[in-house]
Structure 1
C-alpha cells in the first residue's frame, strides 16, 4: 500500500495575433520578424492530487499474478482573470492493473496485462475552465528472459493503448486547447541489458509506435481520423555503455559512460503532409562513488550527465507549432542513498 500526494500551480498570460505564413518545408521561421502580440489578462490555476494504491503479487505453481488498484482525487482552483471568482473542478477515479505471467523455463517468463489510466491535465480552455482528465486503457503482452548463467536480460512487449480526452487545438481559437481528442497507440518495444565485462554494462532499447487519431478534428474542422499524431516519431533507439574502474585501479570509484539516441522521422502536422527530419544525439556520463575514498562515505555519489553533447540544433513541429529541442545540457548531481 502507499499514498501519493502532488501539488501543481501555474499562472499565464496569452497573446494572439497574425503572423507571416510558416513554410514547414524550408522552415523559414529563422528569417522572419514576428511582432510580439499584446498579452491578455493573467490566469491562475492550482491543482492538488491525492492517491492511494495497493498492490499484491501471488504465485500459484509457475503462474505469477499481479494485482494493483489506485484511487485518485484531484482538486483544481481556477482563476480566469485576477479579479474573477474562483472556479472549482474536482475529479476522482479508480484505476487498476491485472497481470499474469508464467515461468515457462528458468528465467523465461511470458506475460499479459490489462490496465486503466487516469491523468489530470493542467491548463485552462478558452472559457477559463480546467481540462477534464485524460482516461485510457492498455493491453500489453510480452516476454522477459534472463539468460541462465549470464548477466544478460532481455524483454519484448507489444501494446495497444486507447486514450480519450487528450488535449488538441481548439477549432474556435487555436491559441487554446480543448480536451476533445482521442487516439489509439499500437506498437512494440524491446530492451536488453548486459554486463559484458567486469565493470562494463550495456543497455539497448528500441521502440516502434503507431499513434493515430480516432475521434478528432483539426482547428480547421476537418476530420483527422486515421491520421498519425504529429510530433511523435515512429521509431526510437537508444543505447548506453558505462564502465566503472576496478577497485585495484588508481581511478577506483570513477564511472564513465556514453550513449546514442536516434529519434526517427515524424509528421510535422496532423494532416500528415510534412515530416520532421530524423536526428541522432549523443550523451555522456561521469560519476564518482565516494566510498572509494573511505567506506564511511558509502551512499555518497557525485554525477554529471551531459545530453546532446555536440549541441545538435534541431526542431520538432506538431499541432501547428514548431519548437527548438533541448540544446547541449549538463546537469550535476550530488546523491546520497541509504
Structure 2
C-alpha cells in the first residue's frame, strides 16, 4: 500500500474507545479504490467494510501482510490496534463483560493468554482449507491457530566486541562466563525482557528453566551485571545497535534478524545449546464485530501467499510445511532442528498461568535480581 492509499493514525486509543489501554496505537488502512464496474451503492457498502485486528506485532513488521491482504480484498478497510499482550488480553475480556463488540481477530505473542481465552470459551470455531493445511501442533479445536514460528535469540554490538577483543557467547553457559569475567566492561550494558511486564518474556524464561538447570544462577549473574529490563524487543535492539547497550538475551529473532539487515553493527546469535521457538496465536473472539471478515484475514495470513509475505518481509518463520523456507528459517529448523524447543498450541500452555506457580516463579526472579535493586 502506498502513501496515496494509506493513512496511518497513531493515537492514544483511550480517545477512541473509553476502556482502551492508553499505550495502544491505532493504524488505519482505508479500503483501496475499486476500479471495476459495479453498482455504486454496492461499491459504497463494500468499501465501508472493516476488519478490526488487535495485535502485538510492530506495525512495520506486520504492514506487508496487511498490504497483501488488501490487494486481494481491496474493498476491506483494516484497523490494526497495536497493544502489549497483557493489555490485549484484558481488553478482550473487558469488552466481552461490557457487552461491547470485540475485534474481529486477535493475534498475540503471549501463547498462554491466547490459549486461556480459547479454553475459557472466548473464541469461536473457524475451519477452512487454510486452517486444515496447518500441522496438528499448530491448531487447537479449530479455535486457536499458530501463525508464526519465532526463535528467542541473543544480539550483540559487533563494534564493541571487536574493539574489546571479545568472542560473542554461543551458549547460555558462555554468557555466564562472559559476564563473570568482564563485569567491569559489561555492567549496565546487558538487557533482556522484564518478565513481570512481558508475557512473551515470561514464556521464554519459563521454557529456559525447563531445559537449563543453571537458569537461576544465570539470572543472578544478570542481576550482578545490573541488567536493563524492557517490555518489548525494539528498544533493546536499537540501544544495542547504537552502543548504549551491547548484549541482549532472549530477544525476538524475527525482529532481530530484520533489524540486523538495516544495522550491520547488530549481530544475531542462535544459541548452540538449545533454541526456544514460540508462535503468535490467532483467535476470532466470540463477540467479534464481523467474524466472517476476521476469518478471511486469518485465512490470508495462513495461506501460502500470506505465510510467504510474513517470512520474506518480517522474518516470521512460516507454520505451514508447504511454504519454501528462507535461509533464516532453514538455519533454525534444518541445522538446529534437534535443538529447537517449541510450544505446541494446546491446554498445556495454561500451566504458565497457574497463579501459585507463576507467583513462585516471579518471586524467584525478583530474588535473583535483588542485588541490583
**Higher percent of residues as strand:** 1
**Higher percent of residues as helix:** 2
| TM-score, normalization by structure 2 | 0.26
Q: Work out which structure has the larger RCO, using CA pairs closer than 8 Å and 6 or more positions apart in sequence.
A: 2
